[in-house]
């Protein structure tokens, strides 16, 4: 039997690889105008770097890392995220001696042993940016503006930016304590993992995807109430710069991100329920990894998820919204004119131009994946009433023929 590729990995070739190359080129051009230099770190590092950097109690370190021992009995791990390696390199090459901030980016394969599903692979790729040497809110806003500009330039619609602040170490500790007490009083409703992990790392419970935990989390105290004056001012400044930059966002006090190193600002870009980009400030990480205290902020964007969103969007734009079927001469003429009217409004409509039977027309509508269909004949024109059918759901509604264009415009531009 032929050997197949490993579950959760993918070969890229043909038109797909061309799409990747085009995207990578866009990213590189964008980084050039933002003054960000490329950093290429090795695919594996000492396991300790991730344990220390990402955090011992995170899902990534506890169950998602590809760790192995080499012939010198050293424990090594395939990169499960890009920040820790970049921090190591920043320290190792004394980059703090360069004019600050130091701005670095990477586009690199990333490995996590997760259950595979849509948007979740075991080898995936991240476009990441890490910026060192500033504690200012302006650096947070710059990081967010890079991701936002890329999504805008790619024409990604339906993407929402959510931001939050976890505060400094003191605020975080204060919140952790408050959260622990809250969770302890709702323990019976939590999943088994959360029942245990809340003691060591209560923030992780906020990140839990289990439904039962989600309903408890909804009532949890807000981290924003635990921020001290400096952290509150910092977060407000991030918000005012974003407003000035005309970058839309919502504040979501439940965002904590899956990694332990974040302080103050955290953010994510979400599209159709999937996080395409996540990031934040990590002011303690450089010091924890052996460097001097250094303010830093960054993000990671999943390339596969980005491409998935772009593909779905393309698919939706190409899909036929409505097939206008017809019966008899009058209906046939009406269908031609209504179709043109909708197309002029930027809506993809199709009608019969082959003079097929009604049955064959509907078969065709199915084949081209039309979302809606109608059939217009003498009776429909006379009574000014047509039956609008939702092809996938099989539901029907009666509407006035004279309202047809207006209704389809609403459905087409929802």
Q: How far is it, in rounded angstroms, from Cα 399 to Cα 372?
A: 13
Site size for ligand ATP (CB under 6 A): 18
Written as one string, the DSSP assignment of 170-193 is HHHHHHHHHHHHHHHTTGGGS-HH
Check binding of 114 to ligand ATP (CB under 6 A). yes
Q: Which is nearer to ligand ATP, 147 or 349 (CB)?
A: 147
Q: Which is nearer to ligand ATP, 301 or 362 (CB)?
A: 301
Which range, of 118-126, 140-148, 235-243, 393-401, touches ligand ATP by CB under 6 A? 118-126
Judged by beta carbon distances under 5 to 8 A according to partner kind, the member of ligand ATP, Mg ion, none in contact with residue 121 is ligand ATP
Site string for ligand ATP, 275-294 (x = CB under 6 A): xxxx----------------
Extract the runs of DSSP E, i.e. beta strands, from 181-294. Answer: 250-251, 263-271, 274-281
Check binding of 253 to ligand ATP (CB under 6 A). no
Check binding of 81 to ligand ATP (CB under 6 A). yes
Selected binder of ligand ATP within 300, 325, 331, 377 (CB under 6 A): 300
Binding to Mg ion in span 173-232, by CB under 5 A: none
Helices 229-244 and 137-153 cross at an angle (nearest 10°) of: 30
Check binding of 144 to ligand ATP (CB under 6 A). no
Helices 137-153 and 14-33 cross at an angle (nearest 10°) of: 140
Q: How far is it, in rounded angstroms, from Cα 259 to Cα 362?
A: 52
Q: What is the distance of C-alpha 129 from the center of its chain?
A: 16
Selected binder of ligand ATP within 305, 334, 371, 389 (CB under 6 A): 305
Binding to Mg ion in span 245-264, by CB under 5 A: 258
Place of tokens 């950093």: 39
Q: How far is it, in rounded angstroms, from Cα 42 to Cα 86?
A: 10
Say if residues 275 and 267 touch (Cβ distance below 8 Å). Answer: no
Task: By CB under 6 A, name the binding residues for ligand ATP.
Answer: 81, 112, 114, 119-121, 124, 126, 257-258, 275-278, 300, 302, 304-305
Task: By CB under 5 A, name the binding residues for Mg ion.
Answer: 258
């Amino acid at each position: 039997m032929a050997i197949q590729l490993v579950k959760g990995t993918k070969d890229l070739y043909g038109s797909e690889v061309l799409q990747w190359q085009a995207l990578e080129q866009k990213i590189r051009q964008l980084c050039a105008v933002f003054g960000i230099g490329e950093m290429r770190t090795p695919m594996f590092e000492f396991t300790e770097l991730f344990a220390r950097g990402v955090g011992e109690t995170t899902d990534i370190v506890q169950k998602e890392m590809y760790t192995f021992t080499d012939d010198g009995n050293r424990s090594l791990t395939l990169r499960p995220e890009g920040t820790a390696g970049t921090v190591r390199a920043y320290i190792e090459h004394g980059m703090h001696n360069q004019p600050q901030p130091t701005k670095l980016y990477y586009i690199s394969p990333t490995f996590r042993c997760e259950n595979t599903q849509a948007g979740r692979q075991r080898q995936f790729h991240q476009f990441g940016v890490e910026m060192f040497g500033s504690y200012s809110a302006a650096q947070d806003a710059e990081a967010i503006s890079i991701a936002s500009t890329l999504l805008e330039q790619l024409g990604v619609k339906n993407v929402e930016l959510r931001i939050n602040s976890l505060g400094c170490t003191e605020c975080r500790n204060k919140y952790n304590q408050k959260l622990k007490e809250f969770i302890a009083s709702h323990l019976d409703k939590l999943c088994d993992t959360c029942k245990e992990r809340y003691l060591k790392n209560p923030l992780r419970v906020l990140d839990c995807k289990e439904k039962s935990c989600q309903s408890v989390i909804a009532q949890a105290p807000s981290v924003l109430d635990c921020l001290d004056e400096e952290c509150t001012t910092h977060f407000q400044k991030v918000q005012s710069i974003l407003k000035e930059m005309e970058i839309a966002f919502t504040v979501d006090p439940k965002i904590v991100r899956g990694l332990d190193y974040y302080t103050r600002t955290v953010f994510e870009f979400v599209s159709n329920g999937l996080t395409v980009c996540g990031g934040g400030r990590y002011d303690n990480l450089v010091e924890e990894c052996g460097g001097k205290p250094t303010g830093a902020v960054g993000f990671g964007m999943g390339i596969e998820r980005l491409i998935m969103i772009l593909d779905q969007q393309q698919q939706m734009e190409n899909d036929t919204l409505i097939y206008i079927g017809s019966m008899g001469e009058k209906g046939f003429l009406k269908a031609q004119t209504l179709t043109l009217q909708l197309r002029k409004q930027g809506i993809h409509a199709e009608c019969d131009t082959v003079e097929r039977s009604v049955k064959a027309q509907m078969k065709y509508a199915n084949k081209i994946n039309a979302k809606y269909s109608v059939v217009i004949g003498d009776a429909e024109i006379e009574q000014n009433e047509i039956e609008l059918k939702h092809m996938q759901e099989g539901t029907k509604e009666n509407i006035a023929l004279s309202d047809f264009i207006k209704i389809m415009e609403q459905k087409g531009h929802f």
